Amino acid sequence: MARIQLDKVCVDFPVFNATSRSVRLGLLNKVIGGRLSKGKKHGSSVRALDEVTVSFEKGDRVGLVGHNGAGKTTLLRVLAGVYIPTSGLIRCEGRVAPLFDISLGFDLEASGYDNIILRGLFLGLSKAQIEARVDDIAEFTDLGSYLDMPLRTYSSGMLLRLAFAIATEIEPEIILMDEWIGVGDAQFVERAKERLDRFIGGSSIMVLASHSEELIRATCNKAILLGQGQVLAEGSVEDVFHHYHFFGTSHFFDIEQYIYMYPDLQDAMAEPGMAPWMHFIRYGIFEGRSPGRGITIDAFANDPVFQRALAVRDGLAAAERIEEIAPFLKTFTPSQDWRTARNLKYPENFVPAQDYPLIDLDDARSLYPSIA
């Protein structure tokens, strides 16, 4: 019987740097009486999940929605039992098949058949149980005689097919997937969906994290919007995406300032179904209006990614680009409750406009210790 219950689950990642991770500092502190590490005994930490309370029942196909660093992957790993929460309770019953990294436990030098057995053992089957299913797995993968070849000769699409076939053939009660569909071809995606339908229809739970709205709409019957590790919205896929498009995760958009700065928008925003955030991604961003927080659209004048989004009238993509870049703009003033995303990346591909430079990498590192 598959069931997942999370009650006020928090996950904190310790952020180690070379000093706090070494014994040297510990020893030095002993010698000089702890002055080196004023009060910060274990360095800093980043909260990746913040009091997440959710529960899933059988038949749920849950899509996790949110920006990079919103906590999607962390939540999946909590469900997989990989991350044990810092606080809160989790109860997760049922056979779990995680499908995060398709190469888990694969031995690239061994044959496809050998790897079916190896992966099956990883997922908790006995050798006899796997051998009974090898033919079905082979059939679904459609790899034919390739299964006798070493895995290093496979393409990433073939690896995905193999991993997916094994993970679903063990009839898991809970299947967890993180952006799994990326390398599959259209035909495979179709067959994969069919297969998922068949066994989730039974008594299973699927949780899927994806940036693809289309995929989540096609495969899920429930969704959760995460932002900064918190559950911002929960419910039907339709409701959650509505919320997402309407409010975003909005840490880079200052509603009050937007209204205050642009009095001419008062009438436009009074329209039914319109909100400042929505106005911004529909019109404001194209009209060069600032979302507040010290971010100006001029700063993106030379950025190809942003300009391409504007050119195709995709306000949401343009706004996402702002979110990605904003922490590194010199003029950026974050809101009080804004916390750095754990997988924040320094934007290598950004082309700054004149007069709007980014902070340099060293400053970014000292400002955001979690940066990769």
- Give residues in contact with another protein (CB under 8 A): 13-14, 16, 21-24, 26, 77, 80-85, 89-96, 98, 100-101, 103-105, 107, 109-110, 117-118, 121-127, 129, 170, 174
Nearer Cβ to another protein, position 237 or 341? 341
H runs (alpha helix) in 33-153? 72-79, 112-122, 127-141
Q: How far apart are CA 323 and CA 337, in angstroms?
A: 15
Shortest CB 85 distance to another protein, Å: 6
Shortest CB 93 distance to another protein, Å: 5
Pairing of strands 96-99, 205-209: unpaired
Q: Looking at beta carbons, which pairs linking 132-137 to residues 24 or more positions away fall under 8 Å?
A: 133/169, 133/170, 136/169, 137/162, 137/165, 137/166, 137/169
Q: Which helix (H) or strand (E) holds 332?
A: none
Q: How many other C-beta atoms lie within 10 A of the C-beta of residue 23? A: 7
List all residues 6 or more positions away from 61 whose beta carbon is below 8 Å from its beta carbon: 196, 200, 205, 206, 208, 219, 220, 221, 222
Nearer Cβ to another protein, position 68 or 331? 68
Q: How far apart are CA 18 and CA 23, in angstroms?
A: 10
Nearer Cβ to another protein, position 115 or 210? 115
Shortest CB 337 distance to another protein, Å: 23
Shortest CB 314 distance to another protein, Å: 34
Nearer Cβ to another protein, position 88 or 294? 88
Nearer Cβ to another protein, position 198 or 313? 198
Shortest CB 144 distance to another protein, Å: 24
Shortest CB 222 distance to another protein, Å: 21
Whether 291 and 340 have beta carbons less than 8 Å apart is answered as no
Nearer Cβ to another protein, position 77 or 161? 77
Whether 229 and 75 have beta carbons less than 8 Å apart is answered as no
Shortest CB 58 distance to another protein, Å: 15
Shortest CB 311 distance to another protein, Å: 39
If 0-12 CB within 10 Å is exposed, 13-18 middle and 19+ buried, where does residue 31 land?
exposed
Nearer Cβ to another protein, position 178 or 303? 178
Whether 140 and 35 have beta carbons less than 8 Å apart is answered as no
Shortest CB 83 distance to another protein, Å: 6
Number of H helices, E strands in the chain: 15, 9
Nearer Cβ to another protein, position 117 or 268? 117
Which residue, 41, 42, 54, 106, is CA-closest to 230? 54
Nearer Cβ to another protein, position 19 or 236? 19
Beta strands in the chain (DSSP E): 3-15, 44-56, 61-65, 87-93, 96-99, 174-178, 205-209, 222-227, 230-235
